[in-house]
Amino acid sequence: MEKLNSLKNFTRRRGPVVLVIMDGVGFGKYEDGDAVKAAVKPTLDALLASAPNCRLKAHGKAVGLPSDADMGNSEVGHNAMGAGRVFDQGASLVSKSISSGAMFEGKAWKEIEGNVLKSGGALHFLGLFSDGNVHSHIDHLKAMIQRAADDGVKKIRVHTLLDGRDVGETSALDYVIPFEAFLADIRSKGCDARIASGGGRMFITMDRYNANWAMVERGWKTHVLGEGRQFKSAQEAIETLRAETHAIDQDLGAFVIAENGRPVGTIEDGDSVVYFNFRGDRSLEITAAFEGGADFDKFDRVRVPRVTYAGMMEYDGDLHVPKRFLVNPPAIDRTLGEYLCASGIRTLAVSETQKFGHVTYFFNGNKSGKIDDALEDYVEIPSDVVPFEQRPWMKGAEIADCVIGGIESGKFDFIRCNFPNGDMVGHTGSFVAARMAVEAVDLCLARIKTAVDKAGGVLIVTADHGNADDMYEHNKKDGKVTVVDGVKKVKTSHSLNPVPCIVYDPEGHGEYESALNEGLGISSIAATVMNLLGFEAPADYDRSVLTMK
């Protein structure tokens, strides 16, 4: 990796460049339901009123997704910010692989399918059951089932992780009912295809960052062992559990589909398993449970079936997890982090567990570990294992403490951090908690700004996507909040709204125009950081928000 060229006529500031990523904080389209606008946030408001700022795109094609109808997410957002360019992401890559037929011609698919054609076992599909297009898409699942049935696979079982987070909070039956009709058609042509188990994504299977292995254990018992409360159908399970608990889809308990008291779809020796999520963070732990050997110690698996296992994509390119995957991930090279290390820049990256992987792994182009041990410090602050709406401040104070310590130490040239509050609390659907989450981040921002002032540094404030800015469902025709039985319908998914980019440069010397460039995406953050560190951005990087004089 070559060093970056110095930027002409630019004076490097005394202190570090500090990038604050307010996860899930965007500019809302509707006032009703905009927890960001409703929040008391004097620091953010003052910065927006006085410092150069613009709005950046953080969804759709601006972050490598198939269309501008697709919500951004933290993974693709941090990829874009760290890469400085837009790469086709999971959803696009999988869709293209399926439509071209490349997936089905690949070695991994042939091994998955060939195993059960030879053994007579079942082909299992496990993953997030919606069209949210953040972790997965139900159309990908249907295409694989259809292909397997066409190729002669005789037994297919589907293990459904209910969403209610990237889609409507109680939309599960909107997917289950037509999917059951799809499976009925598959069965009519000679393939025994059925839903076998399920449960809410925040209750079973889809943990991340080793935060709560009990979720994965519950999933293992449900999907693999067939242990749990039994129902005749997924529809019956959802309706019953919802009536009993009043939980939204993501929090519904686990269920097992059974006939005559026997589970219809346990995972056995000789079976094949496809984990069809394309996004990596919530795929690694269940993959470890399937691929881990005798040294696996996260929970007692009771029995480990000998299966042919594949993930939709490679979830960790450095560790090569999983061993078998259906679609190659984006090959992200020449990241901001790589360029800064080559140029001798000292970096601190910090967040709490929920987003630590985002300011490290995803920011570095899906690469584990540090780029340069001598130049980089990564700090993970353990997250609380409690519902986020109960502690909307999360670990904001501790993150701010670490950032301020890094500024005051004088050890670092570039500091980046992620405050997860707007996203994680936004996903709970609690407007009051989301408002408090934004206010908590603002308190932290005030403290960091004071430290930047004292050190003579530069503060960049942005976000990876929106969420807390759009907490209610709105009618697209008139913009009014959707009301059901007198209650505003909660929205728990990300928004399509733009996010802020603020450049606070208290010791600036007028080297760039006071008005920031408009119409850009969050991939422009990388070039902006390079400029403020005194470097020219590579020619093929997306344009900086700064226009140098």
Catalytic residues: 74
Rounded CA separation 312/315 (Å): 9
Residue that the structure tokens 């439509």 belong to: 99
- Label residues 282-313 b or e (16+ Cβ within 10 Å = b): bbbbbbbbbbeeeeeebeebeebbebbbbbbb
- Contact (Cβ atoms closer than 8 angstroms) between residue 512 and residue 547: yes
Phi-psi region of 180 (alpha: psi -120 to 50; beta: other; left: phi over 0): alpha
Q: What is the dihedral of CA 6, 9, 15, 20, to 10 degrees?
A: -80
List the alpha helices (DSSP H) in 84-212. 90-100, 102-105, 107-119, 138-150, 172-188
SS3 of the chain: helix, strand, coil, percent, to 5: 35, 20, 45
- 3-state per-residue secondary structure call for 325-371: EEECCCCCCCCHHHHHHHCCCCEEEEEEHHHHHHHHHHCCCCCCCCC
Residue that the structure tokens 């002032």 belong to: 453
Rounded CA separation 370/373 (Å): 6
Residue that the structure tokens 């190729």 belong to: 151
Classify burial at 480, counting beta carbons within 10 Å of its beta carbon; exposed 0-12, middle 13-18, buried 19 or more.
Answer: exposed
Is the four-CA dihedral 364, 368, 372, 376 of positive or negative sign? positive
- Contact (Cβ atoms closer than 8 angstroms) between residue 327 and residue 97: yes
- Contact (Cβ atoms closer than 8 angstroms) between residue 266 and residue 226: yes
